[in-house]
Amino acid sequence: MLEGIMIGLSAAFSIQNLLMVIAGCLIGTFIGMLPGLGPMSIIAIMIPVAITLGDPTAALILLAGVYYGAIFGGSTSSILLNAPGVAGTVATSFDGYPMARKGQAGKALTIAAVASFAGGTIGAILLMIFAPALSSVALLFHSAEYFALMVVGLSAIAAFAGTGQVAKALMMTILGLILATVGEGALFNMPRFTLGLMDLQSGISFITLAMAMFALPEAMFLVLNPARGASGAEAGSGKITNLRFSREEAKAMAPVIGRQSVQGFFIGVLPGAGATIASFLGYAVERNIAKGEEQAEFGKGSVKGLAAPETANNAACTGSFVPLLTLGIPGSGTTAILLGALIALNVTPGPRLMTDTPEVFWAVIISMFIGNLVLLILNLPLIPYIAKILAIPRNYLIPFILFFTLMGAYIGQNNATELLILVGLGVMATILRFADYPLAPLLIGFILGTMLEDNFARSMQLYRGLDFVIERPMTLGLLVLALLLVLLPSYRARRARKRAEGVADGD
Amino acid sequence: MALDRWIALIFITFCCAYGYLAFFTMDQLLPPFMQRNPVWPSTFPKVLSILGVIVGLIVLLGLEKQTDASEPSATEINYRRLHEYKLGQALMLLGLMVAYALALRPVGFLLGTTLFLIAGSAVLGERKWHIMIPVAMIATGCVWYLVQQVLGIFLRPFPFFMGI
């Protein structure tokens, strides 16, 4: 492990990669601040750039930097505007915005930055401990277990989608899996579902799909409802002064940061949970354990209430790298996009990543430390200037977002038909969002689809049929777990409803 | 019927068509030696189409109890009142994107993109031409330089009749 850390250090501290971290963090902060553009859209837009870099280490470092920057930028717009750019920073606005209203915007931003830094750094340390351990377990896995594990991942994502959403999320997952079967599969060398069209021969490009699922609907929503990105001008012109917080406040924050980094990390590891759930849960937990006066402060500009979600969401972002780096299975939309980028660069994340390409694995982890440091010491002083971007009129912003979306799809394929596919899929995605269908499961399904089928086919061939389910107890266990994950939420909802009906009847 | 159920219905129809292709057309093309494999190219699609129909029916019939739909917040979109939003602008921008996709090759990157950016902000109601035109031209030039020179991806800069 020590050797790996050394390799990672030397790779991460090369001039090129240091520049990548800094560039990634800055770009991420810059764009993440714009209301309505989440980390998924930004990473999707950045992928063509990352892929043309050619070096997987640099690409992954750049994208990870963008990811952190976006979360950090999202908290800035939550605090200054009460308009979270990212779902994971909604909880930040609960206490951050009241604080900014009191004229303490500078302090709120500093607390957010320190909390993010601590969450991210502690998360990265935990990642260093747990990822190698999990990798060594994962090396024992065969294709049957991988198949089962992916089924667990996909059903967990659906199960965490929220009450009344499980079936919809499953539907989107299946749609993603279906889209993945289009084109020529590696296993069979025969075109499937191309409808005789040459353009579908190589399948649907995942960058196009990612853009169509996230960037385009967001832009359309911004166009449809100007209120979505409103009130930008007022904050951009406001002064942000006095970035300091007091010693007492630091003392109050410290235990919160400690607890939430660990909790956030482990929530982030779970597939489908991620930064949003971690930040809300972190906020709720801290409010419940705070006493008397402090509890009353929550929601009115509490230091603890700001530190908790900020720590938790950054720790969760780091945690979500664990399943990606050790199992090669993304647990969130963002890591799914990262996985797609890695595959495009000929790196297959998984348990062998640590032994085959240690420089990628460790450089990414080391760059997380650097990234967090960059956010703290470089971005924080720049925030008053970066916040000016919030004052860019939407009439200029939206055409540029659309243009970058188109460019991303075009550069990847150099094919104008791809742009038409992008617009078509984008319209479909916008309609799906109107009807409240979650889109992340679709993309995760699409990216896992090929791997899922490959592993399934391989285990079928090894065991000449479905026997592997019985002969490998771990596979069976995982599949049962997947089934439970899907069925439990609806069972619990049903029971809660029964109980509520009983009360109504006077029971 | 609510929009989400219509979508479920369309999804089920789609799965049926997909399943039809998988069950009845794919296997005929399979060479005999591959037919002895336990798993065929059509196996996975067959499973998916069946699962898709089942899940689609669950959504369509509303078997999963929905939480009471609360009124969406000001920043969310309520599709039932879609006409109150700037639907015209959105549709025009979509049309503009299609036009850009079709025109990119013949017109060339520099001219096409500049026109796209100007037209985009014009559709959104901007009329300060003295700002829009220089902004669009500078941005196009910068992006072209970055993509072509730094990333090394070829984008045809000029219209088709200018040769390059």
Residues B54 and B111 in one domain: no
Assess B115–A contact: CB distance below 8 Å, yes or no: no
Mean pLDDT computed over A266-280: 79
Query: Which candidate from A224, A228, A461 shows the least CB-CB separation from B39?
Result: A461
> What is the domain count for chain B?
2
Mean pLDDT computed over A115-130: 89
A58 with A40: CB under 8 angstroms? no
Supply the pLDDT for residue A82: 72
Question: Which residues, 6 or more positions from A122, have their beta carbon under 8 angstroms from its beta carbon?
Answer: A257, A258, A261, A262, A265, A315
Task: Work out the pLDDT band at A193, boundaries 50, 70, 90.
Answer: confident
Both ends of chain A: CA-CA distance in Å?
61
Assess B63–A contact: CB distance below 8 Å, yes or no: yes
Supply the pLDDT for residue B119: 93
Q: What does the radius of gyration of chain A's CA atoms come to, in whole angstroms?
A: 23
A432, A484, A481: which is closest to A179 by C-alpha?
A432
Task: Work out the pLDDT band at A232, boundaries 50, 70, 90.
Answer: very low
- State whether A419 and B101 contact (CB < 8 Å): yes
Supply the pLDDT for residue A187: 67
- State whether A188 and B125 contact (CB < 8 Å): no
Single residue among B66, B94, B115 that ends a domain in this structure: B66
Task: Work out the pLDDT band at A324, boundaries 50, 70, 90.
Answer: confident
- The pair phi, psi for residue A400, each rounded to 5°, is -70, -40
Mapping DSSP onto H, E and C, the string for A218-260 reads HHHHHHHCHHHHCCHHHHHHCCCCCCCCCHHHHHHHHHHHHHH
Of A40-44, A409-413, B85-89, the range with the lowest mean pLDDT is A409-413
Domain that holds residue B108: 86-162
Task: Work out the pLDDT band at A44, boundaries 50, 70, 90.
Answer: confident
Residues B51 and B94 in one domain: no
Residue B79 lies in a domain: no
Looking at the predicted structure, is the pLDDT value of residue A12 above 80? Answer: no
B99, B98, B95, B92: which is closest to B123 by C-alpha?
B92
- The neighbour count for residue B106, using CB atoms within 10 Å, is 12
Supply the pLDDT for residue A506: 43
- State whether B139 and A227 contact (CB < 8 Å): no
Looking at the predicted structure, is the pLDDT value of residue A424 above 90? Answer: yes
Q: CA A287 to CA A291: how far, in whole Å?
A: 8
Spell out the alpha helix ranges (H) of A270-393: 274-289, 292-297, 303-319, 321-327, 333-344, 353-356, 358-374, 380-386
Residues B105 and B142 in one domain: yes
A162 vs A123, more confident = A123
Give the CB-side neighbour count of residue A388, counting CA atoms within 13 A. Answer: 4
| DSSP classification of residue B66 | P
Residue B76 lies in a domain: no
Supply the pLDDT for residue A164: 67
Query: Which candidate from B15, B79, B124 shows the least CB-CB separation from A395?
Result: B124
Does the CA dihedral A84-A256-A368-A160 come out positive or negative? Answer: negative
A109 with A307: CB under 8 angstroms? no
Task: Work out the pLDDT band at A235, boundaries 50, 70, 90.
Answer: very low
Mean pLDDT computed over A216-230: 76
Mean predicted lDDT score pLDDT of chain A: 81
pLDDT in tens, chain B (164 residues): 688 889 999 999 999 999 998 888 888 877 777 777 788 888 889 999 999 999 999 989 887 766 555 444 445 667 777 777 788 888 999 999 999 999 888 888 889 999 999 999 999 888 888 888 998 999 898 888 877 776 667 777 777 777 65
Mean pLDDT computed over A491-503: 72
Question: Which residues, 6 or more positions from A118, have their beta carbon under 8 angstroms from its beta carbon?
Answer: A257, A261, A311
Residues B18 and B52 in one domain: yes
Residues B127 and B158 in one domain: yes
- State whether A178 and B86 contact (CB < 8 Å): no
| DSSP classification of residue B24 | I
Task: Work out the pLDDT band at A356, boundaries 50, 70, 90.
Answer: confident
Question: Which residues, 6 or more positions from B100, have their beta carbon under 8 angstroms from its beta carbon?
Answer: A406, A419, B112, B113, B116
Residues B41 and B95 in one domain: no
Q: CA A481 to CA A495: how far, in whole Å?
A: 20
Residues B104 and B145 in one domain: yes
Contacts of A483-487 spanning 24+ positions with Cβ under 8 A = A483/A155, A485/A152, A485/A155, A485/A156, A485/A158, A485/A159, A486/A155, A486/A158, A486/A159, A486/A166, A486/A170
A3, A1, A10, A2: which is closest to A363 by C-alpha?
A10
A314 vs B85, more confident = A314
Residues of chain A contacting residue B152, judged by C-beta atoms under 8 Å apart: 52
A107 with A242: CB under 8 angstroms? yes
Residues of chain B contacting residue A398, judged by C-beta atoms under 8 Å apart: 93, 120-121, 124
Supply the pLDDT for residue A300: 82
Please write the tens of the pLDDT for every residue from A458-494: 888 888 888 888 888 888 998 998 898 888 877 777 7
- State whether A52 and B153 contact (CB < 8 Å): yes
Residues of chain A contacting residue B87, judged by C-beta atoms under 8 Å apart: 224
A84 with A74: CB under 8 angstroms? yes
Residue B48 lies in a domain: yes
Mean pLDDT computed over A177-202: 78
Mapping DSSP onto H, E and C, the string for A374-399 reads HHHHHHHHHHHHHHHHHHCCHHHHHH
Looking at the predicted structure, is the pLDDT value of residue A278 above 80? Answer: yes
Residue B72 lies in a domain: no
Phi-psi region at B152: left, alpha or beta (left = phi > 0; alpha = psi -120 to 50) = left
Question: CA A293, A294, A295 angle in degrees (round to 5)?
Answer: 90
Of A156-170, A182-196, A233-247, the range with the lowest mean pLDDT is A233-247
- The neighbour count for residue A312, using CB atoms within 10 Å, is 39
Looking at the predicted structure, is the pLDDT value of residue A236 above 50? Answer: no
Residues of chain A contacting residue B58, judged by C-beta atoms under 8 Å apart: 167
Residue B111 lies in a domain: yes
Supply the pLDDT for residue A507: 43
Q: How far is A379 from chain B (nearest CA, A)?
A: 24
Residue B77 lies in a domain: no
Residue B117 lies in a domain: yes
A&B contacts, CB < 8 Å: 176
ipTM higher than 0.95?
Answer: no
CA distances in angstroms from B28 to A404, A454, B21, B24, B35, listed in the order given: 44, 22, 11, 8, 10
| DSSP classification of residue A140 | T
Residue B23 lies in a domain: yes
Q: CA B8 to CA A168: how far, in whole Å?
A: 9
Supply the pLDDT for residue B75: 52
The top-scoring range by mean pLDDT among A143-152, A230-239, B65-74 is: A143-152
Query: Which candidate from A410, A423, A490 shows the least CB-CB separation from B94?
Result: A423
E strands, A126-211, are 183-184, 191-192
| DSSP classification of residue A54 | -
A377, A380, A345: which is closest to A360 by C-alpha?
A345
Residues B120 and B157 in one domain: yes
Supply the pLDDT for residue B95: 93
A227 with A253: CB under 8 angstroms? no
Assess B73–A contact: CB distance below 8 Å, yes or no: no
Q: CA A416 to CA B106: how far, in whole Å?
A: 11
Task: Work out the pLDDT band at A17, boundaries 50, 70, 90.
Answer: confident
